[in-house]
Chain A
Amino acid sequence: MVRKFGFLVAAILVLASICESAIFNPISESHRSAALEIFSPSDGSFGSLEETYEALRTFEVLGIEKKPDIRTSACASVVDTIWSTSSPLKDLFHALRLNGILKCELNNEALGGIASRLKDSLNDANSLFDFHYSVGGLVLIKDQISEVDVHLEDADKKFRSIKALSQSDGRWRISSSNTESSTDAAGIALETLAGVISLASSEIDQSLIATLKNDIVKLFDGIERYDDGACYFDEKLVDASRHQGPLSASSSVVRGITAFAAATSESLNLPGEKILGLAKFFLGIGIPGSAKDFYHQIDALSFLENIRQVFIFAGSIPLISSFPATVLSVTRKDQLKVRVSTVLGSASPPLSVKLMQIFTSGSKDASVVDQKLKFDADNAVHVLETLPANVGVGSYIFSFEVILDNPEDKKNYATGGRTKVSIHVTGVIKVDSSEIAILDSDLGSTETQKKLELPGENAISLSANHLQKLRLSFRLTTPFGHAFKPHQAFLKLRHESGVEHIFVVGNSGEKFEILLDFLGLVDKLFYLSGKYDIELTVGDSVMENSFLQPLGSVELDLPDAPEKAARPPPLPVNPYSRYGPKAEISHIFRAPEKRPPQELSFAFLGLVLLPLIGFLAGLYHIRANLKNLPKSTVPATFAFLFHLGIAAVLVLYALFWLKLDLFTTLKALGLLGIFLMFVGHKTLSHLASTSSKLKSS
């Protein structure tokens, strides 16, 4: 149920998008060009025999002359298939179908062989498709060549077995093992049964045919229906991998019933309105995108178009009323045209179109007119020359009726009663007495008032505070002098920061007026003072001069926002600015420490060396001498070693400064220290004994 509903909705949308209130256009040039696009041969062929048949059949129905030349290759594969003893039934059937169009050169012998093969297979057929291909093949042979005997002796038996296989409890199915009911199967079964009837060598039992007729009527009782009058057969057995759906199912049923009617020359009592509904369904699809759907649509429409030749349904050739334009401009003086044609776009019998009723959109009132449209024979359209007096600018639903001139035709054609079409009558709306004013609140007296040019350039600049009001008013009249109420009448205030406020301009009587009381609006305006741009939009679907007009600006002086006031909403960020490259950053290095100039350092170096020089000079001055040096060898050696040791320690310090690390230095210093202690003790004790000796002496 849900699925069905889903389909319904989607299909209605597809339909609705094609035509608002169910205008169905017959097959036209766009279909032909699309057909050539969709059925375009690759490498000189359309693919399989089935696809080739579908392409050629579509071209044939559409009457396309300039079709791709694939006859030679297609015929070659037809002959191959027919001569081959191992080709499957399906291919044989499609080859024979293709041969029916291409008229390849096949001799009777070949077809005779095929006929007997098909008959044999009929005896051990156990699925609906087997029957369909065999019987279909025999019918095709019968149509193509008369010499071959294709008659079935036990037609009654075959008829019964097909029926038993394909139908139980009023449900049609593809095979007896598959219990799901399928409308597609119904169509195929009908076509096959019709084939059996036409192949029967003796008369088929009438009671069988009567049951089948009954079944067809039942099948039509289960037809699904859209609001716009389109009817279709739903396919319950939907499989996404196969091209199945309402379109193929409906198409299959149409093929089946026309085949049945042709075979029995029985009159089927089917309502013409349902046949018209089917035609509307096929047309409502528009231009299908897939080759399969295209074939199903065109093939089914061709059967509906040619129901005439079958002469069985009462009033059943669908006539489609199409409307080239439903938007009529009063200024351009457009005329409403109605074209009535058959589904494939061929001319209709003499008829007249009458405008019966006019509904005003949005209300239930209908005004009854009975106006006959003038027939323009050159363009084969019916023209409504003047719009009825009560139709002004606006949206209406017109109700038309097609009446056949010749009572004879009523038997053959289905016009489908009244056709309702939504019509938009557009015109230029006059805008006048437009003005904008600032009013003082309590007194209502006008402070400033400016006239506006609408539509036109305006650049007013006003100023107001929160105690004042802004009034904008204008009047709209249709070309017929009536007051006009547009669907869209918006006044927009845009603050410099980008915050927008929209007000609907209401109408009081003939005049449109909006009064903005800023005292009541301060909260809504977020207490934002400053310049507001004013913009007025007036538009309607029937207003040809809909406009969006900047009027100028108003400088508002509003009180400061209280603490709890709402903040303006965040404004959308401009995406372009968000994604730009970032500003470059380069690291600022620490500045090197400030140093005095070299000269200064050298000068100070000189200064610190001065005391040493002074010391040396002092030594010289006091006549320092080394007379106390030990004279004997051993003390002299110790003294020398002691001072050498001191020098070594000092050199070690210098080396420490230059390159040595602390550990090496301490190690060397330790050794030197022990050495110095030893020689120092020797030297100093020698010096001490010398001096004590000197003192005692």
Chain B
Amino acid sequence: MVAAPQKTLTISLFITLNLISILPLLTFSFNPDEPTNRQILVLLDDLSLRSSHSIFFSSLQSRGFNLDFKLAQDPAISVKRYGQYLYDGLILFSPSTDRFGGSLDLEGVLDFVDSGHDLILAADSNASDLIRNIAAECGVDFDEDTSAVVIDHTGYAVSETEGDHSLIAADDFIQSGVILGSKTIEAPVIFKGIGHSLNPENSLVLKVLSASSSAYSANPTSKLSSPPSLTGTSISLVSVVQARNNARIMISGSLDMFSNRLFRSGVEKIGSLKKHGKSGNQQFATEISKWVFHERGHLKAVNLKHNKVGETGEPAIYRINDDLEFSVEIFEWSGASWVPYVADDVQVQFYMMSPYVLKTLSTNQKGLYHTSFKVPDVYGVFQFKVEYQRLGYTTLSLSKQSPVRPFKHNEYERFITTAFPYYGASFSTMIGFFIFSIVYLYNK
């Protein structure tokens, strides 16, 4: 009677501890409970961009985002009030701004991202130090030569009026359905702007659109005397970052890329015979903005369960060599609802300082992943860990603690055949002693 409440207490403590370990997942700005109706602040150099880039903006608005347009120098800009962020995303279409108005500054933007919010940044050949610094903090280094633009003499978009080959038809996309959508982008993307390189020490930044191997970043009007700092496929035109807190960032060296003019324009890449009636820009920009604003590739894991084979409840402790079953459900946000996530590479680890068991989970194609395995014959405090890191998807990092104990003294095997001679020896001695004691005492 006394033990029962105590046991309940232990279990509730246990559950609380587990919840605390899962809790960080729930505190992202992208709130899995209320994923729609999101506020985005758009900072512009000039309000005419609203009209010249209206297709991009209206595609966001039609997907349910509330865009708040402000001039980058507007003194009323504030992203935070009483410690609460007013926006879920920030679009910086203000390449030449060297100081934001209001209270926003470089640290403000970084804090915004650090608190899990999303950022789209577009620069161009007039990129200010502020914009370059924001990009550099995200692991993207724009070409230091401020007059340089990306030039590609064998991969430019044919144009009757632009002859300096800085209008690039780029088609070297990242191979990722989650970032760029399941539909392949057929037409090249027209890019006009500056190139950047990725900081090799930053493992979170990814090249989404890279230049061809003949591209280079230089001033088209001056003669080159030394090799340009950026050449070939190491030039990234558009990059994305997914931070550890699942905040997503897109950085593009071209603002024109998002303009109505290039959205509508046809494209013919030099050397390719195919002329596309419409460039890939609109598809590219729309799909990548879907990714940035978590309409794709945002996973959540629920119902992490484990139990002994044949039982249903979760035991407080496992014994070594028990057989157990593990299951977890994973869903992906589709922009409107949570749909089952289907993959064949979700893995669970049974972990104590290092994984003792690492097993790929089998799926029922409806979001449920499950497996069963034998508890290792090592006792200690173990964790069930699901560490799911895939290109473009949010990181799933779940863990649930479960101790493992050794056999109790009475759980070992008894009456081992090998020991029979010992048993026999003891008993025969005992019988012998008994008989001897009688015979010794009463013999005459």
Q: Which residues of A contact B (CB under 8 A)?
A: 2-3, 6-7, 9-11, 13-14, 17-20, 23, 30, 34, 238, 240, 244-247, 285-290, 292-293, 323-327, 361-362, 395, 422-424, 426, 485, 487-488, 490, 492, 500, 502-504, 535, 537, 539-543, 546-548, 569-573, 575-576, 578-587, 589-590, 595-596, 598, 601-602, 604-605, 607-609, 611-612, 615-616, 619, 624-629, 639, 643, 646-647, 650, 653-654, 657, 683-684, 687
Contact = CB atoms under 8 A, between A and B. Distances in A.
A581 B234 CA distance: 26
Contacts of B224: 487-488, 504
Given A18-B261, A502-B231, A601-B421, A626 B48 contact: no
A628 B96 contact: no
A587 B416 CA distance: 27
Nearest to A38: B54
A326 B163 contact: yes
Identify which of B44, B225, B438 gathers the most chain A CB atoms within 10 Å of its CB: B438
B198 A572 contact: yes
B163 A616 contact: no
B175 A576 contact: yes
A65 to B, nearest CB: 22
Contacts of A3: 71, 73
A505 to B, nearest CB: 10
Most buried by B among A10, A575, A653, A687: A10
Interface string B214-232: 1010101111111110011
A488 B151 contact: yes
How many chain B residues sit at the interface, stated as a range, is: 35 or more
Interface stretch (B25-33, B295-303, B426-434): B426-434
25 contacts: A9-B96, A10-B49, A13-B124, A17-B261, A18-B261, A238-B47, A246-B48, A247-B51, A288-B52, A289-B54, A289-B55, A487-B220, A502-B231, A546-B214, A579-B390, A587-B377, A601-B418, A605-B424, A615-B435, A616-B435, A624-B439, A626-B442, A643-B438, A650-B430, A650-B434
B434 A646 contact: yes
Given A362-B221, A547-B154, A587-B356, A624 B443 contact: yes
Contact of B436 (A608, A615, A625, A626): A615
Contacts of A657: 423
A642 to B, nearest CB: 9
A17 B73 contact: no
Nearest to B416: A595
Interface stretch (B106-114, B309-317, B357-365): B357-365
B164 A587 contact: no
Given A579-B389, A628-B444, A647-B434, 20 more contacts: A7-B45, A11-B46, A14-B259, A289-B51, A289-B52, A361-B221, A488-B214, A490-B216, A500-B234, A504-B226, A539-B154, A546-B214, A575-B206, A584-B358, A602-B420, A604-B424, A615-B432, A626-B439, A629-B442, A654-B427
Contacts of A327: 159-163
Given A323-B161, A540-B153, A587-B374, A628 B227 contact: no
Contacts of B163: 20, 326-327, 395, 422-424, 426, 541-542
Q: Which of B163, B226, B345, B360 has the most CB of A within 10 A?
A: B163
B442 A546 contact: no
Contacts of A573: 200, 203
B42 to A, nearest CB: 9
B174 interface: yes
Contact of A325 (B71, B160, B216, B378): B160
Contacts of B207: 575
A609 B206 contact: no
B68 to A, nearest CB: 8
A491 B320 CA distance: 64
A601 B223 contact: no
Interface string B56-95: 0010000000000111111000000000000000000010
Interface in B188-221: 192, 198, 200-201, 203, 206-207, 213-214, 216, 218, 220-221
A581 B347 contact: yes
A286 B52 contact: yes
B441 to A, nearest CB: 6
Nearest to A9: B96
A596 B256 contact: no
Which 3 residue pairs across A and B have the least CB separation, nearest first? A289-B54, A539-B153, A424-B163
Interface string B150-173: 011110000111111100000000
A171 B430 CA distance: 125
A627 B231 CA distance: 116
B24 interface: no
Contacts of A570: 200-201
Most A C-beta atoms less than 10 A away, residue of B161, B207, B421: B161
A548 B216 CA distance: 12
B157 to A, nearest CB: 12
Nearest to A606: B424
Contact of A289 (B151, B260, B417, B430): B260
A624 B259 CA distance: 119
B6 interface: no
A586 B160 CA distance: 63
Q: Which of B48, B378, B418, B431 has the most CB of A within 10 A?
A: B48
A546 B444 contact: no
Interface in B398-428: 416-421, 423-425, 427-428
Contacts of A605: 420-421, 423-424
